[in-house]
């Protein structure tokens, strides 16, 4: 486990001004005593998630001297949500970096919070909705790469529809980039792992996806190639983990 003796950084004046400028808070006192919904260390980076009374999600990354978590998830999420504006996803307000002291800084990312009921699992009645949603995402060059059931929800104001809320692992590609279709194949496969779909359910989803998003023969071949490659990679990783467990027992 990666740990440090440091605690979280105090809220910086620049962060408070950024939040006030977007109407997230009216004064700094609203942040005092606001408990993090989630908090975890990755190397010397403390990741915190807050939900404000005004209905916004704050993702804060406090970085301390030493090895950092250099995955710029705030950039990934912001870029993806900008591309997906108008679809059933949160609204991004952007991010800001604040310098606290030498070697100590924070990045604050802000997005809206969608009200609704997260999925416990992707039910058969949701399969076509996932296909339609992902066809829309992929049509704008965005691949989520994190199709866990809890990242989908039925919006409170439109319970018959499906939304997606977490783009921290998302990738944005140009539509002509062949790597987009390889990544789509990976996303589809992950629906059978994180999304817990059966092989038959995945086939149903991909059939509906093909209706929603008509792509060429080459692009379709690349999606299948990506799906096959990542199936092989995950199976290889699973075998290695199983071998290590047997070796320790």
Same domain, 149 and 196: yes
Of 63 and 228, the structure prediction assigns the larger pLDDT to 228
Q: What is the CATH number of the domain that holds 131?
A: 1.10.510.10
Same domain, 101 and 205: no
Same domain, 219 and 121: yes
User: Mind listing the pLDDT tens digit for each residue in 87-114?
Assistant: 999 999 999 999 998 888 899 999 999 9
Q: Is the pLDDT of residue 159 over 60?
A: yes
Cβ-Cβ contacts under 8 Å for 8 (sequence gap 6 or more): 36, 39, 46, 48, 62
| Total tally of structural domains belonging to the chain | 2
Q: What is the CATH number of the domain that holds 105?
A: 3.30.200
Flag whether 208 is in a domain.
yes
Same domain, 149 and 127: yes
Same domain, 91 and 186: no
Selection from 203, 135, 206 nearest residue 164 by Cα: 135
User: Mind listing the pLDDT tens digit for each residue in 13-30?
Assistant: 999 999 999 999 999 889
Instruction: Give the pLDDT of residue 42.
Output: 82
- pTM value? 0.89
Residue 151's domain comprises: 116-239
Domain limit, last residue, from 62, 88, 112: 112
Instruction: Give the pLDDT of residue 1.
Output: 38
Q: Is the pLDDT of residue 71 over 80?
A: no
């Amino acid at each position: 486990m990666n740990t440090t003796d440091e605690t979280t950084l105090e809220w910086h004046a620049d962060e408070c001004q950024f939040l006030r400028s977007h109407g997230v808070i009216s004064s700094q006192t609203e942040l005092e005593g606001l408990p993090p919904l989630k908090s975890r260390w990755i190397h010397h980076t403390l990741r915190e998630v807050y939900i404000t009374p005004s209905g916004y999600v704050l993702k804060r990354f406090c970085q301390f001297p030493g090895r950092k978590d250099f995955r710029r998830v705030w950039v990934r999420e912001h870029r993806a949500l900008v591309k997906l504006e108008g679809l059933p996803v949160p609204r991004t307000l952007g991010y800001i970096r604040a310098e606290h002291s030498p070697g100590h800084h924070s990045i604050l990312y802000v997005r809206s919070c969608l009200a609704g009921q997260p999925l416990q699992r992707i039910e058969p009645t949701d399969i076509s909705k996932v296909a339609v949603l992902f066809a829309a995402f992929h049509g704008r060059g965005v691949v989520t790469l994190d199709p866990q059931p809890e990242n989908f929800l039925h919006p409170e104001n439109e319970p018959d529809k499906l939304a997606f809320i977490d783009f921290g692992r998302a990738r944005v590609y140009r539509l002509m980039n062949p790597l987009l279709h390889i990544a789509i194949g990976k996303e589809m496969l992950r629906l059978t792992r994180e999304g817990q779909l059966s092989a038959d359910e995945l086939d149903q989803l991909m059939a509906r996806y093909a209706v929603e998003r008509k792509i060429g023969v080459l692009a379709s071949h690349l999606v299948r190639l990506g799906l096959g490659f990542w199936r092989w990679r995950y199976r290889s990783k699973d075998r290695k983990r199983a071998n290590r467990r047997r070796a320790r027992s």
